[in-house]
A and B are shown apart, each in its own frame.
Chain A
Amino acid sequence: MEDFGNIVCIAFIVWFTLVVGLIVLPAMFGISLGITEVYMKVLVKTLEWATLRIQRGSKEQQKPTTLVSNGIILRDDGSMEKEITDLRKGRSKPQINGEFELSDIFYFSKKGFESIVEDEVTHRFTSEELVSWNLLTRSNNNFQYISLRISIIWVLGVFIRYCILLPLRVTLATIGLSWLVIGASLVGLLPNSRVKNWLSELVHLMCYRICARGLSATIYYHNKENRPMKGGICVANHTSPIDIVILANDGCYAMVGQVHGGLLGIIQRAIVKACPHVWFERSEMKDRSLVTKRLRNHVADKTKLPILIFPEGTCVNNTSVMMFKKGSFEIGGTIYPVAIKYDPRFGDAFWNSAKYNMVSYLIRMMTSWAIVCDVWYLPSMTRQEEESAVQFANRVKAAIARQGGLVDLSWDGGLKRAKVKDAYKEEQQKSYSKMIVGDDSS
């Protein structure tokens, strides 16, 4: 028994040393040993091979073609006015504008039925469907048993992911987070000075790099010359809590958020000792003017790190960008937009908070093949004189959507949980009434 215990101990120590030596230390100094590159190459080759086999397999079996397009029905994109006028063309009477026709309801009924079959919002809160299977059980929606070889590879994949990668990643994440807490607390003991700031940035960067390795994250940063500067506000689209790790790997930001309890609370309290972050109590969050004031004070101080904000307010599935809440754009200062796009082949990064809680989400992340994403730093923007906060928000949103190849939607991300406001229905009624009684409202 003792021997067995000894062997286990030795094995553990060896493994731990390897992990630290090969992964943690290089990560801390931002050096790559090339192991991840090799892994990714092998992975891509395997997935391509699997895709070909699946395509061949489905042709042989002649299944109904699985159309995973962005839409399943053809929708007319015309404006309300155009479509209703077209409807009325069939009338034998001469057309007088400003009148009601019995056929006008056809427009609304058709739009209504179309939205029942397919609408822009509902599917943004579920994971994106893949064109071809990536050998993860969880994305096995449309794909059936193809061949023995694929199934063997899949079993191998499960073994590798759960028995090798998962423990490795959990270890790395633990090391990373503990280092953050300890390091930040240590740095916090120093008096305020440039050295302290430099050390705090170092500690933060090291920890996030370790965490990124802990997720096998491969991040491609573009346009680094547009990186957010101190005293600015960094704005990005939100897909998952991992976005923070992704962005903080390349720069230091001041986080904004609510004070939590538990593990997250410990981390929050530790890192605020090293450099200023903005944490709000739950009660303070309700007071919008207070929130804006504190953020404005932070931004005004040019020695403080740029704030990181996600204006959508909720996680969306990375195929679109939803309405940006105007609060972040009322603070003033320079906005640095950032677009984040995940590659869905290697792992689904979207956090569906209705389906999974944080822990199961993290386990899913750590058992994916990898997280691959592109980060684009966009040139900074400031609010123009005649622009309202809402218009500015939409301008920034359009730029991010364009860069990331995402659909630009005006729907509110809050629709995940709440119903839509009646104000939007009134807008439709207003447009229609203009056609019926003309522009003057008596």
Chain B
Amino acid sequence: MGCNASTLAKIHNVDELILETGFSSSHICHLYNRFHSLDKDDKGLLNRGDFQNISELAVNPLGDRIINNFFPDRVDLIDFNSFARTLARFRPVENSPKKEPDSPEPINSRANKLKFAFQLYDQDKDGKISNNELLQVLRLMLGVQVTEEQLDNITDRTIQEADLDGDNAISFEEFKKSLEKVDVETVLSIRFL
């Protein structure tokens, strides 16, 4: 399959999707083809196993968390529109938008990108990154290469640095503040050719 009008016609609500995600029609086409190449049993939907077949993702220490990001609570199959919407968060930020004051924030804004990163840590979605949640992420990224003690030290120190209101957890505001100098827009972006 390629990129042409007939491909676009197969996508449900394609104009709405383009508007919502901000992808161009040729990018949507590419993503559609990619969706189908991952969907090995041709069911029109993707499950977690289809993502785990991507070798590069399977060796990524945060692979499973990233995959979970595509599947909202208690959902095990996603369609293309949902796939595209999740990927839209990684679209590069445009410089120019003249926004009307009450238009919804674009999916790929800095705040939304940070929210995505925050969710990777905050698994129980209580709005705070606890000591335990930080420990879990570190464990994923470091595997058995470091001792429990080292992990505890790192976790304690990180929370101490970022925690401003003394509740021994990192809220979304504290998270944002700690990353205010980091160029989130560029780093959490995928540039299409």
Q: Is the CB of B182 within 8 A of A425?
A: no
Q: Is the CB of A66 within 8 A of B145?
A: no
Taken residue by residue from 55 to 84, chain B's Cβ proximity to chain A (1 for < 8 Å, 0 otherwise) reads as 111111111001000000000000000000
Q: Is the CB of B120 within 8 A of A73?
A: no
Q: Is the CB of A432 within 8 A of B31?
A: no
Which of chain B's residues have a CB closer than 8 A to the CB of A97?
none
Which residue of chain B is the closest to A68 with respect to CB atoms? Answer: B2
Q: Is the CB of B37 within 8 A of A109?
A: no
Q: Is the CB of B56 within 8 A of A103?
A: no
Q: Which one of A66, A109, A432 has the highest number of Cβ atoms from chain B below 10 Å of its Cβ?
A: A109
Interface residues of A in 100-140 (CB under 8 A from B): 100-123, 126
Q: How many residues of B contact A (CB 8 A)?
A: 63
B181 sits at the interface (CB 8 A): yes
Are A428 and B60 CB-contacts (below 8 A) given A102-B162, A411-B55, A436-B154?
yes
A430 sits at the interface (CB 8 A): yes
B96 sits at the interface (CB 8 A): no
Docked pose: A81 CA to B182 CA in angstroms: 17
A142 sits at the interface (CB 8 A): yes
Q: Is the CB of A106 within 8 A of B63?
A: no
Q: Is the CB of A441 within 8 A of B178?
A: no
Which of chain B's residues have a CB closer than 8 A to the CB of A120?
56
A357 sits at the interface (CB 8 A): no
Which residue of chain B is the closest to A119 with respect to CB atoms? Answer: B56
B38 sits at the interface (CB 8 A): yes
Q: Is the CB of A110 within 8 A of B188?
A: yes
Q: Is the CB of A420 within 8 A of B55?
A: yes
The answer, among B25, B57, B120, B189, for a CB contact under 8 Å with A116, is B57
Q: Is the CB of B61 within 8 A of A142?
A: no
Docked pose: A92 CA to B179 CA in angstroms: 10
Taken residue by residue from 126 to 170, chain B's Cβ proximity to chain A (1 for < 8 Å, 0 otherwise) reads as 000000000001100111111100100010011000100000001
Q: Shortest CB–CB separation between residue A428 and chain B, in angstroms?
A: 6
Q: Is the CB of A116 within 8 A of B58?
A: no
Chain A: interface size category: 35 or more
Q: Is the CB of B191 within 8 A of A73?
A: yes
Docked pose: A48 CA to B34 CA in angstroms: 30
Q: Is the CB of B57 within 8 A of A64?
A: no
Docked pose: A442 CA to B148 CA in angstroms: 11
Taken residue by residue from 318 to 359, chain A's Cβ proximity to chain B (1 for < 8 Å, 0 otherwise) reads as 000000000000000000000000000000000000000000
Q: Is the CB of B143 within 8 A of A100?
A: no
Chain A residues within 8 Å of B, Cβ to Cβ: 63-67, 69, 71-74, 87, 90-92, 99-123, 126, 141-144, 411, 415, 419-420, 424-430, 432-433, 436-437, 441-442
Q: Shortest CB–CB separation between residue A150 and chain B, in angstroms?
A: 16
Which of chain A's residues have a CB closer than 8 A to the CB of B141?
104-105, 108, 429, 432
Are A419 and B53 CB-contacts (below 8 A) given A122-B38, A425-B60?
yes
Q: Which one of B54, B87, B121, B193 has the highest number of Cβ atoms from chain A below 10 Å of its Cβ?
A: B54
Q: Is the CB of A105 within 8 A of B56?
A: no
Which residue of chain A is the closest to B154 with respect to CB atoms? Answer: A100
B117 sits at the interface (CB 8 A): yes
Are A109 and B57 CB-contacts (below 8 A) given A92-B181, A117-B190?
no
Which residue of chain A is the closest to B1 with respect to CB atoms? Answer: A141
Which residue of chain B is the closest to A72 with respect to CB atoms? Answer: B30
Are A112 and B2 CB-contacts (below 8 A) given A122-B37, A122-B38, A429-B141?
no
Q: Shortest CB–CB separation between residue B189 and chain A, in angstroms?
A: 8
Docked pose: A427 CA to B120 CA in angstroms: 22
A-B contact pairs, 18 of them (CB 8 A): A65-B3, A65-B26, A73-B192, A73-B193, A103-B187, A106-B184, A110-B90, A110-B187, A110-B190, A112-B63, A113-B66, A115-B56, A116-B66, A122-B37, A142-B3, A420-B58, A425-B143, A441-B145
Which of chain B's residues have a CB closer than 8 A to the CB of A432?
61, 141-142
B107 sits at the interface (CB 8 A): no
Are A425 and B61 CB-contacts (below 8 A) given A109-B66, A415-B55?
yes
The answer, among B31, B181, B190, for a CB contact under 8 Å with A90, is B181
The answer, among B3, B137, B142, for a CB contact under 8 Å with A436, is B142
Q: Shortest CB–CB separation between residue A321 and chain B, in angstroms?
A: 16
Q: Is the CB of A419 within 8 A of B56?
A: no
Taken residue by residue from 86 to 124, chain B's Cβ proximity to chain A (1 for < 8 Å, 0 otherwise) reads as 010010000000000000000000000000110011000
Q: Is the CB of A106 within 8 A of B187?
A: yes
Q: Which one of A71, A102, A118, A437 has the highest number of Cβ atoms from chain B below 10 Å of its Cβ?
A: A102
The answer, among A63, A71, A115, A126, for a CB contact under 8 Å with B193, is A71
Docked pose: A73 CA to B90 CA in angstroms: 12
Which residue of chain A is the closest to B182 with respect to CB atoms? Answer: A90
Docked pose: A366 CA to B146 CA in angstroms: 58
The answer, among B26, B60, B192, for a CB contact under 8 Å with A108, is B60
Q: Is the CB of B62 within 8 A of A429?
A: no
Are A64 and B61 CB-contacts (below 8 A) given A100-B158, A419-B52?
no
Q: Is the CB of B187 within 8 A of A429?
A: no
Which of chain B's residues have a CB closer than 8 A to the CB of A441?
145-146
